[in-house]
Amino acid sequence: MVSYKELGLVNTREMFAKAVKGGYAIPAFNFNTMEQMQAIVQAAVETKSPVIMQVSKGARKYANPTILRYMAQGAVEYAKELGCANPQIVLHLDHGDSFETCKSCIDSGFSSVMIDGSSKPYEENIALTKQVVEYAHKYDVTVEAELGVLAGVEDEVAAEESHYTKPEEVIDFSTRTGCDSLAISIGTSHGAYKFKPEQCTRNAEGKLIPPPLAFDVLHAIEEKLPGFPIVLHGSSSVPQDEVDTINKFGGKLPDAVGIPEEQLREAAKSAVCKINIDSDSRLAMTAAIRQHFAEHPDHFDPRQYLTPARDNMKKMYIHKIVNVLGSNDKL
């Protein structure tokens, strides 16, 4: 058993309480590689932001759970080396699908876990979430649960259709499970193709404009659970310039579309205190690498193309922190 406290990590409790009060959101960036980890830490340190580094089941399979845990420990030491005396870094399991996965993360040093029972019937979601909360709280690890279903594909989490969270269920669910935060469904979606073209309108240049988020559902939930930390998954904006760069240099991402940043900015001012971003990092990395290969066909040293990839991700993380979530200068 390794406690996250020994690794210099923190859980989400105080971080979320401050974010809800302060009207900003904590960035939750997924990571699979060393370059992503470095870019996240550099961005968080430079902007003096708390940060959640999250690991999905796919990341655990790709990079190995032990390596990821040591990378998070390394992230804390790296932040200190970069001049941040007291970094606030959470290591979070994204979309935990069973009690066993959550337990293994808690036992190996994660400071926060998500148990995603959203695809199960309501009572089963409650029973599973409660089981994880009871175990996690023994070790002061915080737990995110989910009610409602997001559409889209993310690693091994996939759903055809979204079902908005029912505001009338949230009091019963949070009270009976004891969860620390709640991921809700209000129209965000996983991946770089969040909406089908037929769900969108097109602007004068033919670019897709997605349907707006269901702020009425968010506000109804906030009314039922005043001050309770709310989480938004599937919140990449799928920046058009990155998509254009990818397509210009040999990629093929037609009609990729995300959540407009002004809507995320609005959500961050509410009880939404954690916003998940993964696809934007993938796009930033891919765009930089494609451009680099096109401009330097003679390069074959990974450091040559991973350096601009890391820099581009860092630029994106800083932009999100400062211009969208507002978590800068909150350490």
| Binding stretches for ligand 13P (CB under 6 A) | 30, 94-95, 154, 190-191, 233-236, 276-280
Smallest distance from the beta carbon of 288 to ligand 13P, in angstroms? 17
Q: Residue 223 class from Cβ within 10 Å (0-12 exposed, 13-18 middle, 19+ buried)?
A: exposed
Q: What are the phi and psi torsion angles at 212 (to 5°)?
A: -70, 155
Active site residue 301: no
- Tell me whether residue 84 or residue 194 sits nearer to ligand 13P (CB atom): 194
Per DSSP bridges, beta strands 157-159 and 151-154 are antiparallel
What the block records as the tokens of 185 is 């469904």
Q: Which of 94, 116, 278, 280 is labelled catalytic?
A: 94
- Tell me whether residue 59 or residue 84 sits nearer to ligand 13P (CB atom): 59
Smallest distance from the beta carbon of 194 to ligand 13P, in angstroms? 7
- Tell me whether residue 118 or residue 279 sits nearer to ligand 13P (CB atom): 279
Smallest distance from the beta carbon of 272 to ligand 13P, in angstroms? 13
Smallest distance from the beta carbon of 276 to ligand 13P, in angstroms? 3
Q: Report the Cα 297 to chain-centroid distance in Å.
A: 34
Residue found by looking up tokens 């690890």 in the block = 141
Distance, in Å, from the CA atom of 228 to the CA atom of 144, rounded to the nearest integer, reads 12
Distance, in Å, from the CA atom of 239 to the CA atom of 279, rounded to the nearest integer, reads 10
Smallest distance from the beta carbon of 183 to ligand 13P, in angstroms? 8
> Which amino acid is present at 75?
A
Query: Which DSSP string do the residues of 39-90 spell out, in sequence order?
Result: HHHHHHHHHT--EEEEE-HHHHHHH-HHHHHHHHHHHHHHHHHTT-SS--EE
How far separated are the first and last CA of the chain, in Å rounded?
Answer: 29
Residues 6 or more apart whose Cβ sits within 8 Å of residue 310: 35, 36, 38, 39
Give the Cβ contact number of residue 252 at 10 Å.
Answer: 6
- Tell me whether residue 84 or residue 259 sits nearer to ligand 13P (CB atom): 259
- Tell me whether residue 84 or residue 318 sits nearer to ligand 13P (CB atom): 318
Catalytic residues: 94
